[in-house]
Amino acid sequence: MKQHVIALLLVMLLFGCSGNSDPTNKPKVEGFIVQVNENSIIVASNISRTDAKTKTWEELSEKYRDKLEVYTLNDGRFFSSLSNYKKGEKVKVWGNGGALESDPPQYELEKIERVGD
């Protein structure tokens, strides 16, 4: 009996510690890329494609400050570069871990998908 309890606890521990930290697997944000470089992108939700493509960083940060999120490549585990993404593209983005205490919030990029319009 004691072995069954230990085995059950071990199985529960293994399943509890595995898998994605976000059980819903929903993206953190869906929006437009407003800035991109080799190692990071900035995505804004609830803005127009036109604003994402044409506004300067200063204009965007003033008008949409609470809608901007930064996603960075920390160690190349998931991606080697973001250079094939362009300003104004609509994307869904998943971030790994919680937001760093910054403005705009920053996440480690886990997954990114282009969204067709």
Q: What is the dihedral of CA 61, 41, 93, 19, to 10 degrees?
A: -120
Q: For residues 90 and 44, what is the distance between their CA atoms, to the nearest angstrom?
A: 9
Q: Is the CB of residue 113 less than 8 Å from the CB of residue 91?
A: yes
Residue 75 has pLDDT above 70, yes or no: no
44-73 pLDDT, tens digit each: 888 899 999 999 888 988 888 787 777 776
Show the CA angle centred on residue 109, arms to residues 104 and 113, nearest 5°: 105
CA distance 38 to 83: 5
CA 18 to chain CA centroid, nearest Å: 20
The pLDDT tens digits of the residues spanning 81-113 come to: 788 889 999 999 888 766 556 667 777 888 888
2-6, 11-15, 30-34: least confidently modelled range: 11-15
Q: With cut-offs at 50, 70 and 90, classify the pLDDT of residue 25.
A: confident
> Residue 8 has which token pair?
């059950």
**What DSSP element (H or E) covers 8?**
helix 2-17
Sorted by where each starts, the structural domains of the chain and their CATH numbers stand as 21-114 (2.40.50.140)
